[in-house]
Homo-oligomer: A and B are copies of this chain.
Amino acid sequence: MKFSSKILKCGLSPMRKFHPYAVAAEKKGRKIYHLNIGQPDIETPKAFFDAVKHFEQPVLAYAASPGVPEYIDAVREYYGKLNIPLENGDILATTGGSEALEMVLACILDDGDEILIPEPFYPNYNTFVKVTGASIRPIPTTAEEGYHYADREKIEPLINEHTRAIMVTNPGNPTGVVLSRDEMRMIVDVAKAHNLFVIGDEVYREFVYAGQPLASLAEFDDAAENVVVVDSVSKRFSACGARIGVLVSRNKDLMAQAMKWCQGRLCSATLDQVGAAALYSVGPDYFAKVREEYKLRRDTVMRKLADIPGVVCKCPEGAFYIMAKLPVDDAETFQTWLLEEFEDHGDTVMFAPGEGFYSTPGKGRDEIRIAYVLKQADLERAMDLLALGIQAYNARK
């Protein structure tokens, strides 16, 4: 029996590749500091659990395919506060931002099509794109330039007759790059000029540390036909396990196509949508506190990285990741070594090796992604372990 050519092109998550080594290290009694995962440690607001606990319907029934009305209303009101006027029909509830990505890419990509994505990018984009039969054309960046990609001269020459869309994660995962309003405008203009969709994966919107206002590609009224926004409660409210996201677009034709997918899979989880609606009652105080906490963590990581000779890294302005070039020959070999050979007082450290974030072969080999989702003390220790590890790794044999 054969498997589809598309699934065969997909791979396993590069982040999970080192799991067996970690299990083995833990068996040896090692304590592992995890800088490798994007699972926030911030508490999920009580509003979610309260709403779920007060659900009193005796039958846990299907929700409407486009979503539970109070959740759609909550999302619409949230965008209203960003001065983005949406109608309920511009919003489809999805099973995480992940399903919103699957859905929009299935609607617009065909075999042989291309989508432009700045590289390094969130590795699961590979799966979502490849199952459609299309491929990613990466917009190249460098660690030295802080992974900056919003440059018309960089983007436009990559567009060809197969290009269907430009997709950006803003703020960026894994780079933390935050687009300025002018850069967003430029990308939207390029999309308009070439008749492309522009997909903004904006699940880290609240996580900006330089005082930027909350931004969305959906702000540009003149590009309402081009713009698609993917959003989620996962990172915003530290509710990853709810698997509730949203697909937003004012392109009615696109939403009509997406509705076919929505009806096909019936609906997203009813109870989680009820909880997600309640999360939107959480006010700006919550975000201010969370933002302050992450900013401190980012600063800790940057301060520690600055002390490691040979590291290349510019301070990112958003999300909760830092991508850095290390003075090692190969970050995957280094990670394996850290788990198999290294320890300092019984401790070691994990990060996400960079290669999995690139589609260009060989790129990112000496880079890593650090997720700063640990409390300060743990983060300090993790970064010390990284520094000690680099030193010992390069001094070995």
Residues of A that sit less than 8 Å from B by CB: 1-8, 10-13, 16, 39-44, 48-49, 52-53, 55, 58-63, 65, 95-96, 98-99, 102, 106-111, 113, 124, 126-128, 131-133, 164, 195-197, 225-226, 238-243, 251, 253-254, 257, 259-261, 263-272
Most chain B beta carbons < 10 A, residue from A226, A259, A260: A260
Chain B residues with CB under 8 Å of A42's CB are: 59
A108 to B4, Cβ gap below 8 A?
yes
A128 to B272, Cβ gap below 8 A?
no
Distance in angstroms between the alpha carbons of A5 and B164 in the assembled complex: 13
Chain B residues with CB under 8 Å of A243's CB are: 95, 266-270
Copies held by the complex: 2
Distance in angstroms between the alpha carbons of A218 and B113 in the assembled complex: 39
Distance in angstroms between the alpha carbons of A109 and B4 in the assembled complex: 5
Extra 13 A-B pairs, beta carbons < 8 Å, given A3-B108, A243-B269, A269-B269: A1-B251, A3-B107, A4-B109, A7-B261, A12-B263, A40-B59, A44-B59, A52-B271, A127-B260, A127-B261, A242-B271, A271-B271, A272-B272
Distance in angstroms between the alpha carbons of A43 and B268 in the assembled complex: 20
Q: List 20 A-B contacts (CB under 8 A).
A: A1-B196, A1-B254, A3-B253, A3-B257, A4-B109, A10-B260, A10-B264, A11-B260, A13-B65, A39-B62, A41-B59, A49-B55, A49-B60, A63-B241, A95-B99, A95-B243, A99-B265, A106-B131, A124-B263, A124-B266
Distance in angstroms between the alpha carbons of A319 and B39 in the assembled complex: 41
B254 to A3, Cβ gap below 8 A?
yes
Q: Which residue of B lies closest to A237 (CB)?
A: B60
Chain B residues with CB under 8 Å of A133's CB are: 111, 133
B10 to A238, Cβ gap below 8 A?
no
- Closest beta carbon of chain B to A251's beta carbon, Å: 8
- Closest beta carbon of chain B to A88's beta carbon, Å: 15
Chain B residues with CB under 8 Å of A102's CB are: 265
A96 to B265, Cβ gap below 8 A?
yes
B41 to A60, Cβ gap below 8 A?
no
- Closest beta carbon of chain B to A214's beta carbon, Å: 23
Distance in angstroms between the alpha carbons of A3 and B62 in the assembled complex: 28
Chain B residues with CB under 8 Å of A111's CB are: 111, 133
A4 in contact with B272 given A42-B59, A260-B11 (CB within 8 Å): no
Most chain B beta carbons < 10 A, residue from A8, A61, A226: A61
- Closest beta carbon of chain B to A178's beta carbon, Å: 23
Chain B residues with CB under 8 Å of A270's CB are: 241-243
Q: Which residue of B lies closest to A244 (CB)?
A: B269
Distance in angstroms between the alpha carbons of A126 and B264 in the assembled complex: 8
Distance in angstroms between the alpha carbons of A131 and B102 in the assembled complex: 11
